Structure formats: C-alpha cells, structure tokens
Amino acid sequence: MDVLAIISIVLAYLIGSISFSYLIARWVKGVDIRDHGSGNAGATNTLRLLGKGPAIAVLILDALKGVLAIYTTFLLVGNDPIVLALSGMLAIFGHNWPIFLRFRGGKGVATTIGVVVSLMFYAGLISGIIAILLIVITRFVSLGSLVFTVGLPFAVLALQGHYPEPYLWLSFVIAILAIVRHKRNIKSLFQGTERKIGQREGEK
C-alpha cells in the first residue's frame, strides 16, 4: 500500500470523526448530546433533544461524511476497490469512535449510508427501501437501521458480479458493526421497551 493510500485512509477516519450532532447540540443548546437521551451522538438522539430541523441536518451532514471520505480517496488513489473499502470502513469507525471526542461517538448509520450510496448504490437501495418501510410501519428507527445494515451483504450477494469482492467484505463489516453498536437497542426491542421515533423519555 503506497503513501497516498495510507493518507486517504487516515483522512477518511478524521472526516468520520467530525461529530455534527455534538457540534450542533453545543451550538443550539450548549450541551453535550452524549449526556442526554440515549447518550448516542447521532441523528435519532438529536431528534429527541433538539427536534426535526437539527436532526435532519445531522443526518445529511453525517451521510455526507461518508461520501466525502470516499470521494477524497478516489481523488487520491483512483478506483482502487480495496483502498475505497478501507476508507469507507474507517469513516464509519471515525463516527463511532471519534478521535476528537475521546473515541465516544455514535452508531454510524448515517455515515454508513453515505459510504454505501457512494460504493454500493443499488445494494443500498434494495436494503434501504425495506428499512424505510419498516420504520414507517413500526416507527422503530433502530429496527430499520439494523435491517438496512444486516440486509446489505445479502443485497450485495444478490447483485453478485456487480461489485468487487472488497465491497462484499465491507458490507459484512458494516453489518457486524451495526449489531455491536445496537446491542442495547436489540435487547430493548425484544423486551418491548425500545422507544419509537419522536417518542421522548418516559413516554409509552
């Protein structure tokens, strides 16, 4: 792996480490979002704490981090599937474990969307449509996020031959990361205590 490839991967991690939910919560309300609600630095917790406008801004900006990480890598090293896949993975790692916030970040779903749209658009579209339908029906964002990420490798396999092998392995890493980061949500879903979208602390 050459120097430009290493630089692009490091840059992807640093881009992913920019926490827009943290910055917007500081700017709008003067608080650390990680000390409120679920403690997660992401769009869903921003919705609970700050409302729809800031949450939509966080969702879009976090997704754009994934796009920017991939685009930067493409500019530096070209269409190298291995380096692009590594950069996508490191951008998600950066969101989940940001160096700027002592490695305490979010769950990486929005950034994952940006990475997937950039590298595996049609596979992401398939799993994304199913996930959105589930969120609309159940109002569980966590369930939709899990279906999107865990379903991604199956969508990539269904489009076998359309994507290079490193993208398939990236999709498996994305699925595992999502399960690890959503352990508490999975437990709450089984226990019937998971909060629905727009539902605040203490509401039934």
> Which run of H or E residues covers position 112?
helix 109-119
CA distance 35 to 40: 8
CB 92 within 8 A of CB 145: no
What letters, b where the CB count within 10 A reaches 16 and e where it falls short, cover 121-138? Answer: eebbebbbeebeebbeee
Is 29 a domain residue? yes
Percentage above 70 pLDDT, the chain: 97
The vertex-62 CA angle with 70 and 102, nearest 5°, equals: 100
Residue 203 in any domain: the answer is no
Tokens 């474990």 belong to residue: 97
Q: Is residue 51 included in any domain, yes or no?
A: yes
Instruction: Tell me if the pTM is above 0.75.
Output: yes
Determine the average pLDDT of the residues in 4-10: 96
Mean pLDDT of 12-19: 96
Q: What angle do CA 139, 142, 145 make, to 5 degrees?
A: 105
CA 124/CA 149 separation, integer angstroms: 9
Q: How many CB atoms lie within 10 A of CB 183?
A: 9
The 10s digit of each residue's pLDDT in 103-115 is 999 899 999 999 9
Q: With a cut of 90, say whether residue 204 has pLDDT above it.
A: no
Query: Residue 173: helix, strand or coil by DSSP?
Result: helix
Q: Tokens 């727009």 label which residue?
A: 198
Give the domain range for residue 186. Answer: 3-191
CA gap 176, 181 in Å, rounded: 9
pLDDT digits (tens, 9 = 90+) for 26-84: 999 899 999 988 888 888 889 888 989 999 999 999 999 999 999 999 999 999 999 99
Q: Is residue 101 part of a domain?
A: yes
What whole-number distance in Å separates Cα of residue 27 and Cα of residue 105?
17
Rounded to 5 degrees, φ, ψ at 120 are: -135, 60
Please, what's the b/e burial string for 98-120 (b: 16 or more CB within 10 A of its CB; e: otherwise)?
A: beebeeebbbbbbbbbbbbbbbb
Answer yes or no: is 198 within a domain. Answer: no
Judged against a pLDDT cut of 80, whether residue 12 lies above it is answered with yes
| Residue 24: inside a domain | yes
- Would you say residue 201 has pLDDT above 60? no
- Separation CA 92–CA 64 (nearest Å): 12
Residue 61: closest CA among 41, 81, 77 = 41
| Residue 44 domain-assigned (yes or no) | yes
Contact 62, 43 (CB under 8 A): yes
User: What's the structural domain count of the chain?
Assistant: 1
In this structure, is residue 197 part of a structural domain? no
